[in-house]
Structure 1
Amino acid sequence: MIAAIDGRLANRTERVGVGRYCAEVLRALPEAAPDLALRVYLDAPPRGDFPLTPARAEFRVLPPARGWTQRRLGPALRGDRPDVFYTPTLQMPLGCGCPVVATVHDVASTRFPEHFTPAQRLTAWLRLRQALLTAAHLVCDSGSARDDLLGLCRLSPERASVAFAGCAPEFTAPPAPGEAATVRERLRLPERYVLYVGRIQPRKNLPRLIAAFDALLARRPELPHHLLIAGGDGWLPESSHAAARAAAQAPRIRFAGHVPDDALPGLMRGADALALVSLWEGFGLPVLEAMSLGVPVVTSNYSSLPEVAGNAALLVDPLDTDAIADALETVLTDGARREECVRLGHAQAALFSWTATAESIARALRNAARRA
């Protein structure tokens, strides 16, 4: 069975969010589904760090073009006639000539339209509408995302399944000798810090996290911590930057920009806590990775995040700045609670794997091809 895959996001210089998801799924698929012949479509030759080699997949490099999905990928799929096509996003050609399986990471633009630009809302609506009308099956990152599809989009239950994301080996392996010092020098890290990882965009709720950090240091001025925000600007980042500039503790709030994949485990391992208090997440990969590394987590009690964190993190109302500050104070000052978070976090993170993710996606691909 030939499974065609849009692998472009795994071939980017900076992999964030869905790019990291795409790379890990591609890395896991050959072992998880040896019966599938993988044919990966790209708009540039595979980079040296691409997760698959020619020994494990066939590559089709199509010339770059504006509207590549429709102008290049669609005609190629119709000509090549694979048994099934998988896209790790909702971006798909209007006609593929084969059944389509897509991953839905969230429907945040439907739930929180005010946090997206008009162009983003329109694009997201068009892609979601096309997926609902034409995809044979939709794979969701979480039960929360699937519930939204069924409820908000009135999708039939049999057309959607859940495949949780996983944790890459570098987040489960022990640190390399000298890793802490190397990463600290490379990224010029402060000695003690609370860490946020992710793009800077409204739904990440950074102004409230910054306000909570400010409030925490006002009540506990002896704490030496900085707030380290690791991630590049996404869309509408201005409010987050403005909140940091206006904070009383502005000198101790740092925007570190995008952190390369090879430095991310060391950056996380050096944190005293990870804080991800998003208004909405399709999964929340940094929560899982931090728990796997033994870093206590403060996260939201909304959307998918309770599914990922289980009972291993401090869950807070992301709209309640005082609650966020209280949780940060607990994980930074209560040794017994920190130890409990670390112990439970290791156990919770062990429940997730990219192999299981790839197996679930492969099952959806086989079923879609057989029903065609």
Structure 2
Amino acid sequence: MNTKVLIDSRWAGNTGIGRLYQEVMDRKPPHVMDVHIESEMRLGSLYSPFMLGKAIRSSHADVFYSPSFMPPAFSNIPFVITIHDLMHLFYYSSLHKIYYQQVIARLAKKAKKIITVSYHSKQQLTQLLGIDEHLITVIYNGVDKRFAENENRIKLERPYLLYVGNRRKNKNIPAMLRAFAQAKIDKEIIFALSGEPDPILLQEAEHLGIQERIKFLGFIQEETLPQLYKGALVTMYVSLMEGFGLPILESMASRTPVLTSNVSSLPEIAGSGALCVDPFNINEMAEGIKQLVNNNQLRNYYIEEGTKRIDTFQWEHTGIQTWKAILS
């Protein structure tokens, strides 16, 4: 018997959520008939829950699934959503925080199941939003096999440390710049960051005297990302808060050592496969950079441990467990 699943596919695209959506859809069971939300409404629109409710009512679907946090305002069928993190409560405007607490959280409690991507995020959902822990299922993201299979590396004009991600406040990029400037490593080494030049970061680099050692890579094509990780000396991902932290796994799979944080979900995801440091302590971050660049024994230890760690994170498992949550 076929099951009709209405899916909020507006989240498809070149993002972490977009990757999750695609991996889940690639593993859709044969008896599932998928239908999709048809709307050009902004993902973060205040009216999204109402649009979703109307779409559900007219869809005649058996269940609704979203790969992200936006629940319907009303639903006559069971629904499953994925809340990746609670960044809106910490790093967005006060209006975002109120909307998340008073609207999103209340609607989410009506879900059949809430999926989240780490036990840290599950703990936050129960403690900060008061969601029943029995409603929440933790399903880890996976890492694409092409990172481990790739044997090519990009060579920039100089050896480089790498950061891949956006520029939101939780990413802690100014602190990483300060730690990089302080680290006792070869001054030929540069810090390469995804994205276009940023006036604030350029000003910070100039203040630190490292403007010639910073390189902005612009938009990174998906097909070149494995080669970029492979070519780096170290991947820097010393965030203040993450729900998961996919670049950690992508770097581990590429056999490039990772410097990450010892807070939020990051030590949970990294395990023993990355060097975890205090993201609020510039000296500790700088020492971590020095050790991973200069200490070959330590460097090789984290490369080997990281290679073992990625076995825990398989998209096949993510897809199977997600469909189990949707259809059960």
Structure 2 length as normaliser, TM-score?
0.90
Q: Which residue of 2 aligns with 1:86?
A: 65
Structure 2 gap segments, 5+ residues each: none
Matches within 5 A, 1:58-73: 62-65=38-41, 69-70=48-49, 73=52
What is the aligned partner in structure 2 of residue 53 from structure 1? Answer: none
SS in structure 2 at match of 1:91: coil
Residues 165-203 of structure 1, C-alpha deviation per residue, up to 9 Å, x if partnerless? 00112222233xxx43xx55xxxx333110011100100
Please tell me the residue identity of whatever aligns with 2:10: R
The residue aligned with 1:283 is 244
Aligned residues: 323
Report SS of the residue matched to 2:312. coil
Check the 8 A contact 1:24/1:168 in 2, yes or no.
no
Which residue number in structure 2 is paired with residue 364 of structure 1?
325
The one-letter amino acid paired with 1:226 is I
In structure 2, the partner of 1:230 is: 194
Residues 1:143 and 1:65: Cα distance change in structure 2 (over 3 Å): closer
Q: Counterparts in 2 of 1:34-73, with a 5 A limit? A: 34-41=30-37, 62-65=38-41, 69-70=48-49, 73=52
1:91-240 equivalent positions in 2, closer than 5 A: 91-110=70-89, 112=90, 115-126=91-102, 128-175=104-151, 179-180=152-153, 183-184=154-155, 189-216=156-183, 219-220=184-185, 222-231=186-195, 239-240=200-201
Displacement, 1:125? Answer: 3.5
Query: For residue 324 of structure 1, what is the aligned residue in structure 2?
Result: 285
Residue 54 of structure 1 aligns with which residue? Answer: none
Question: Which position in structure 2 is the counterpart of 1:252?
Answer: 213
Whether the 8 Å CA contact 2:52–2:73 is kept in 1: the answer is no
* Shift, 1:73, TM fit: 4.2
1:82-126 CA deviation, whole Å, 9 max, x = no partner?
11111111123312331111111111232x2xx323444344445
C-alpha deviation, 1:232, in angstroms? 6.0
TM-superposed CA distance for 1:72, in Å, is: 5.0
CA contact (8 A) 1:142 1:164 kept: yes
Instruction: Percent identity, please.
Output: 28
**SS of the residue aligned with 1:275?**
strand
Q: 1: CA distance between counterparts of 2:196 and 2:130?
A: 35
Once structures 1 and 2 are overlaid, which stretch shifts more, 15-24 or 341-350? 15-24
CA separation in 2, counterparts of 1:63 and 1:128? 20
Mapped to 2, the partners of 1:72 and 1:131 lie a distance apart of 14
Q: Deviations over 1:64-84 (max 9, x none)?
A: 346584565433321122111
In 1, distance between residues paired with 2:267 and 2:59?
Answer: 42
Q: Which residue identity does 2:16 align to in structure 1?
A: G
* Amino acid in structure 1 at the alignment position of 2:168: Q
- From the superposition, tell whether residues 161 and 63 of structure 1 become closer, same or farther in structure 2 (CA, over 3 Å): closer
TM superposition score normalised by structure 1:
0.80
The runs of 5 or more residues in structure 1 that have no matched partner are 42-61, 368-372
SS state of the match for residue 64, structure 2? Answer: strand
